[in-house]
Structure 1
Amino acid sequence: MKHLFLSPHLDDAAISCGDYIDNLVRTGHAVTVMTVFTGSAERLSMLARIIHKKFRLRDEEVMDVRLQEDRSACTLLGADTIHLGLPECLYRFDEKGGPTYRKLNELFETDPSREPAASKEIISSLGDIDFTQYDLIYIPLGVGRHIDHLLVREAVELVASTSFPLSKLMYYRDLPYLDYGTDPNWRSELAKGMEEVCIMLPSLSLRKKLAAIERYRSQLRMLWPSRFRMLRQIAAQARSFKDVHIHIEGKYGFPLYIRTQRAVITVNH
């Protein structure tokens, strides 16, 4: 089977689903990670410059380094990569030429309807993709309400309504935003009308995921205060999901979300 993971940014799929991707590849499936926002900035807002300093990278090298990190991580996981080259929220500007986002909190407090131009651009880029070649397509739920994650979800759902069966869509939880605890209503709002499915993964896939995350060195500094905190948080998250109906020694549960019209998941593990 062929699987496509839509990743808003260069790291999202690996952080959220790296262990699941590893297990798919180990069991003979073909995986592609398609990252939407991989474009370089033509000019930078003050917020973008501040974030770049947290990466400890020069402005002109940020995207080249991040692309290299992504290729390295996906190669480790055994996944192919596609980069769509659109500008992420830090690099977008409004009709008047000002930065769309001036403060970090705005990235998590903006409704996608306020970015029609970005939405249109994503949909246009996705229109060039032959989704029919993939058996299952994975997209973020949008936990944490990051504007780019919500835009990607809505765009894929819109394309799916005319290009491929909605039954192909599977939703993953957005890490590390889930662990921040800032979105307590995500189940009732973002996963409304969906069924939670537990996929059992071996502990070796968790180790591979952790190794893949470490390939994103620039992002580790932004998302976690230390390497130890990253390792502890990701490992704790893997142990936190419990399915009362399933317990297999040496394995842990990985949750995915599907629309309730779909009765079963068709991936063998």
Structure 2
Amino acid sequence: MKTAALATALPWDDIERVVILSPHLDDAALSCGGLLNFLTGRKASCLVISIYCGNPPVVQNRDGTHRTPQRKGYVNPKLRRREDVAAMHAADADFVHLGFPDGIYRRSPLTNQFIYRHAHEKWVAPRVDDLAHVEELYLILQRLCLNLGRILLVSPMGIGQHVDHTIVARVALRLAELGPSLLFYEDFPYVVNREIGSGAEDDPLRALQRLGRESSSRMFLPVDVPAKAALISHYHTQVLPLFGNEEGILNALHARQHAGAPCEFFWKVRGLCTHRKEEE
């Protein structure tokens, strides 16, 4: 597939604002740290919308008291928000934290039970009980992203099959039907290490296929590895589970290259995939 340079492939002077959709409080830095650096250099307007930033919903005990559930392996969202504030200030990016809880904490509006009851269940397609949340997210992002001039919307594509990333990608496609240009970014580090995600083999083309889209073009953006590693390092709670250590960050960043240089990759899409057309 032919790969173009992102820096020259888009009409940057005509874009009023770049909006990066970040499912969690690190995804923009992990997947688009190079893009954030590029936009800062151009003095371009950029807004990072981090979506699943809220505290776990409070539940009522049988005796009428309330408690905030904590699930094993999940860091207090307040601490993660602090990490993201530091990172976004370092990136000189505008940002907003939405109050939706992480998928592992979302509850069915019908039964009040966890929709994704076990940690491994977050690597699945969105479930029916999550549809009300999807619609609410769509309406909120409409207000935040649209009717503000020419917008470039930058979304995860769902590599690794995390349910929250998949939901954001699907909502981004719906938003793109209303006018903004859309770029998908490769979900990092899932794109270089499938064991961090669902464990199943995955890549950009598979992710687009799940969304019912096919690629129209791929673009690369060279990455200043030390600068992006420094940005990622603001997320202290995530370095160990995702990379092991600082050296692991550097190794992962060097794993995606174009013409021998570490890069981030972005994808434009067109309509339904051929196999979907045939099925319909």
TM range (shorter): 0.7 to 0.9
- 3-state SS in 2 of match to 1:49: coil
Residues 154-207 of structure 1 deviation map (CA, whole Å, 9 limit, x = unaligned): 12222332x324xx0000000111122333364145164213433342x5x322
Alignment of 1:188-267 (within 5 A): 188-190=206-208, 192-201=213-222, 205-237=224-256, 239=257, 242=258, 247=259, 252-260=262-270
Contact 1:46 1:102 in 2 (8 A): no
Match of 1:183 among 201, 207, 210: 201
Per-residue deviation, 1:41: 1.1
Within 1, Cα distance between the matches of 2:217 and 2:98?
29
Per-residue CA deviation, residues 114-166 of structure 1 (Å, 9 max, x unaligned), is 521221221132132242325311001111111001111112222332x324x
State the AA in 2 paired with 1:146. H
CA gap 1:130/1:187 in 2 versus in 1, 3 angstroms: closer
Corresponding residue for 2:113? 98
- Change in CA separation of 1:160 and 1:198 when aligned onto 2, cut-off 3 Å: closer
- Please state if 1:171 is matched with 2:187: no
- Residue 51 of structure 1: how far off its partner (Å): 1.7
| Structure 1 CA distance for aligned equivalents of residues 160 and 141 of structure 2 | 23
Deviation track 1:11-42 (CA, whole Å, cap 9, x = no partner) reads 01110110121112112222111111111112
Of all paired residues, the percent bearing the same amino acid is 24
Match of 2:62 in 1: none
CA root-mean-square deviation: 2.5
The equivalent residue for 1:131 is 146
TM-score by length of 1: 0.79
Alpha-carbon displacement from aligned partner over 1:29-68 (angstroms, at most 9, x marks no partner): 221111111111124899942123xx4xxxxxx2221111
Residues 214-249 of structure 1 deviation map (CA, whole Å, 9 limit, x = unaligned) = 001112233232232222212323x3xx3xxxx5x9
More divergent stretch after superposition (43-52 vs 64-73): 43-52
Q: How far did residue 112 of structure 1 move? A: 5.0
Contact 2:34 2:221 in 1 (8 A): no
**Larger fraction in helix:** 1
Does the 8 A contact of 1:6 with 1:139 survive in 2? Answer: yes
Shift of 1:113: 4.8
Aligned to 1:264: none
Provide Cα deviations, 1:58-89, integer angstroms capped at 9, x if missing partner.
xxxx2221111111111111211011211120
Number of matched residues? 239
Aligned counterparts of 2:50 and 2:33: Cα–Cα separation in 1: 14
What SS is found at the alignment partner of 1:164?
A: coil
